[in-house]
Amino acid sequence: MKKIAMLTGGGDCPGLNAVIRAVTRRALIEGYEVIGFRNGWAGVIKGDFIPLNRDRVSGILHLGGTILGTSRTNPTDEQIETIVRNLKGFNISALVAIGGDDTLSVASRLHKRGVPVIGCPKTIDNDIFGTDQTFGFDTAVNIATEALDRLHTTAESHSRVLICEIMGRQAGWITIAAGVAGGADVILLPEFSVSLEEICAVIKQRQASGKSFSIIAVAEGFKIKGEKEVLQTDKLDAFGHARLGGIAERLCKLVEENTGIESRSVVLGHTQRGGSPTAMDRLLGTRYGVKAVELAMAGEFGKMVALRGTEIIGVPLDDVVHEVIDKKTGQSKLRLKNRCVTKELYDVAKVFFG
Ligand code: F6P
């Protein structure tokens, strides 16, 4: 019997269970045996998996998180060999790797070693090159938008500046989408640095026009002009990512000092990754899962499912990765290309600043 395996790697996000259910249901129709490795690449290395059948994936579509568990395991060269060996040993005819930049860059390495892999782009950050959207993004945007809506009333009651820090690493997609939808008065993104003076000028101008409060949506990766990004710790994670966080608090202090208006900061943090996926993310995850199995059936390995316009297509993983220098080891490694917020979209947002 043909066997299809899947895993979820990296930070979790809403919609993962929709993909797991879709891959399982589509594969069962074709008579595949289906298994799920637990906790990302760690499960393949340890040979830790669970069988997936119709019952196991029933009632999970609306649930956040992942029934398979996840981890940020970055396999060493030796562990890559173990993964290749284990997948052969388990007689896997296709592996669907559901993850973001980190998980898919490992998938791409495995593809070069002849592993029959299909990638599925997951992340709230929406920063994966080659697809118009990742699942998880829409839910995060809705959570952040609701937060901005709620901040408006309390900011207005107290005549304060409220600064809301939004996730996304080096991409400002969640911040710009929620910032525009939630009517933020200033939107600050990693892609476009802005000086403190420019930020405060907008707030002062609002005050002069009779608006006693302001809402600032700031991406965790935003840099004040002339400053570095704000980190929670100097330590890097297994894939060499810095832990961002603290820009809202820093801005809060500076804005209050500079404008004289009482200010508060709010960090949305992991609330943006938790809870039930939106209908949009359930649908996108479902379409991705079905397409992943269809690519496997057609023998189109080494591809990532992707949204282009309204179509779901397969794009070669080779087209979405590039070589970069690892900050930890100084050696060259494969990473996914980043997709950043465009100037055109930022210019639309800027119409509503102030
Ligand atoms: O990549 C998704 C993401 O939520 C980023 O937006 C955020 O910077 C990071 O993961 C947080 O990672 P962790 O779950 O390790 O705290």
Res 329: pLDDT:
76
- Report pLDDT digits (tens) over 129-151: 999 999 999 999 999 999 999 99
What confidence score (pLDDT) does residue 233 get?
93
Does residue 14's CB lie within 6 angstroms of at least one atom of ligand 1?
Answer: no
- Is 125 part of the annotated catalytic residue set? yes
Q: How far is the CA of 14 from the centre of ligand 1 (A)?
A: 13
172 lines ligand 1 (CB under 6 A): no
- Residue 139 three-state SS: helix
* Nearest-CA residue for atom 8 of ligand 1: 169
Arithmetic mean of pLDDT over the chain: 97
Question: How far is the centre of ligand 1, averaged over its atoms, from the C-alpha of 269 (Å)?
Answer: 8
244 in ligand 1 pocket by Cβ < 6 Å? yes
Contacts of 72 (CB under 8 A, 6+ apart): 9, 10, 11, 40, 102, 237, 238, 239
Band (pLDDT 50/70/90 cuts) for residue 246 is: very high
Instruction: State the residue for tokens 């398979």.
Output: 68
> Is the CB of 167 inside a 6 Å radius of any atom of ligand 1?
yes
Look at residue 313 and tell me whether its pLDDT is greater than 80. yes
219 lines ligand 1 (CB under 6 A): no
- Asked whether the predicted pLDDT for residue 347 surpasses 80, the reply is yes
Mean pLDDT of 327-346: 89
115: helix, strand or coil: coil
Instruction: State what percent of residues in the chain have pLDDT above 90.
Output: 95
Cβ–Cβ under 8 Å, residues 312 and 287: yes
Choose among 184, 254, 253: nearest CA to 219.
184
Q: What is the pLDDT of residues 48-68, one digit of tens each?
A: 999 999 999 999 999 999 999
Ligand 1 atom showing the smallest separation from residue 11 Cα? 14
Quote the CA–CA distance of 66 and 64 in Å, as a whole number: 7
Question: Which atom of ligand 1 is least distant from the CA of 169?
Answer: 8
Pair type for strands 242-244 and 311-316: unpaired
Dihedral of alpha carbons 343, 219, 226, 232, sign = negative
Share of the chain above pLDDT 70, in %: 99
Q: What is the pLDDT of residues 164-211, one digit of tens each?
A: 999 999 999 999 999 999 999 999 999 999 999 999 999 999 999 999
If DSSP codes are grouped into helix, strand and coil, which group holds residue 147?
helix
Residue nearest to atom 6 of ligand 1 (CA): 168
Q: Whose CA is nearest to atom 10 of ligand 1?
A: 11
In the predicted structure, residue 40 carries a pLDDT above the cut 80: yes
Q: At a CB cut-off of 8 Å and minimum separation 6, what does 153 contact?
A: none
Determine the Cα–Cα distance for residues 164 and 180; give it in Å rounded to an integer: 13
Is the CB of residue 13 below 6 angstroms from any atom belonging to ligand 1? no
Annotated catalytic residue within 12, 101, 102, 125:
125
What's phi and psi for 337, nearest 5 deg?
Answer: -70, 145
pLDDT over threshold 80, residue 327: no
pLDDT digits (tens, 9 = 90+) for 209-231: 999 999 999 999 999 999 999 99
Interval 275-292 mean pLDDT = 98
Ligand 1 centroid to Cα of residue 11, in Å, is 6
Pocket-testing residue among 273, 336, 339, ligand 1, by greatest number of atoms within 8 A of Cβ: 273
So what's the pLDDT on residue 326?
Answer: 79
- Residue 16 tokens read as 């993962």
DSSP sequence for 220-268: TT--BTTSPPPEEEEEE-TTS-EEE--HHHHHHHHHHHHH---EEEEE-
List, in sequence order, every residue forming a beta bridge with 214; answer none if it has no partner: 161
Specify the pLDDT at position 325. 87
pLDDT at 55: 98
Q: Is the CB of 169 under 6 A from ligand 1?
A: yes
Q: Is 323 exposed, middle or buried (0-12, 13-18, 19+ CB in 10 A)?
A: exposed
The structure's pTM equals 0.97
For residue 216, the model assigns a pLDDT of 98
First to last CA, the chain: 62
| Whether the predicted pLDDT of 312 surpasses 90 | yes
